[in-house]
Amino acid sequence: MDVGHFLYERVGFIRQLYMTSAATYIERKRLIDAGEAPFEPPYSEDGEPPFLVEWLEADDSLHVLGYACLSMLSDTMKVFFDAWQREARVRDDPSLDKVFKKNGFVQGYRALFEKSLGIRFADSKVDMLLLEQVVMARNRIQHQEYLGSNRPSHSQADLNRLHNPFFMDKQERSLLVREKKNGTSIWLMAPRVSVTGTQLLTVLKEVERFSTWMDKAMQKVGERRGKRLHEKP
């Protein structure tokens, strides 16, 4: 099975799905901001921006679309690791069950492949914490706690671990965080999970970079195994 090929196919599908589906909402926001038809500003003295409800609805829609794509990406990454485990004939290691359960499947597979195959994810030069944040954000998206919003907030546990979460609006961070002299942060309230087009495209590219590296790392594993078999008397 060409694991890398199918990873690229799925990531490419996610990319085109977002870009095609987002176009309508991006255009609606642009029309409202520009005051173009059918969103010409009516005369009003109440001071509220015209078509605010429609603008916020389009903005929320873009984030929810990003959530769907990020969830697909998280599942794709899980299937990607599963596929390589099967291809490399690596058995589950009960001693690593706690790593999977406590730290998530990215760190779990990192430990499994390093122990079983000598593959070190750190050698990829890919931002593995960013890939972990895909899974963390997906968990918040899939397990929302508040009915009154389409957008979930980061958990306190995630904020304690991540000084500056990637999937967060920079403006929200500037309004909600207070920096302490020792480098820690105090959050006035938990920021919402943000998945913009730029954020999504950035992480999609990083997943592709990791897949390219993984292909080469697994090829070396195959070469080592072949060499050992050839050297056997």
Q: How many CA atoms lie within 13 A of 3 on its CB side?
A: 23
pLDDT of residue 178: 78
Q: Write down the H helix ranges in 88-127.
A: 97-103, 105-117
pLDDT of residue 232: 55
Residue 93: count other Cβ atoms within 10 Å of its Cβ: 14
Q: Determine the Cα–Cα distance for residues 222 and 217; give it in Å rounded to an integer.
A: 9
* Sequence spans of domains, the chain: 69-152+193-231
Q: Report pLDDT digits (tens) over 150-206.
A: 899 999 888 888 878 999 998 888 888 877 666 667 888 889 999 999 999 999 999
Q: How many CA atoms lie within 13 A of 46 on its CB side?
A: 8
- Range 19-43 average pLDDT: 95
- Range 103-110 average pLDDT: 96
pLDDT of residue 227: 62
Task: Report whether pLDDT(80) > 60.
Answer: yes
pLDDT of residue 47: 74
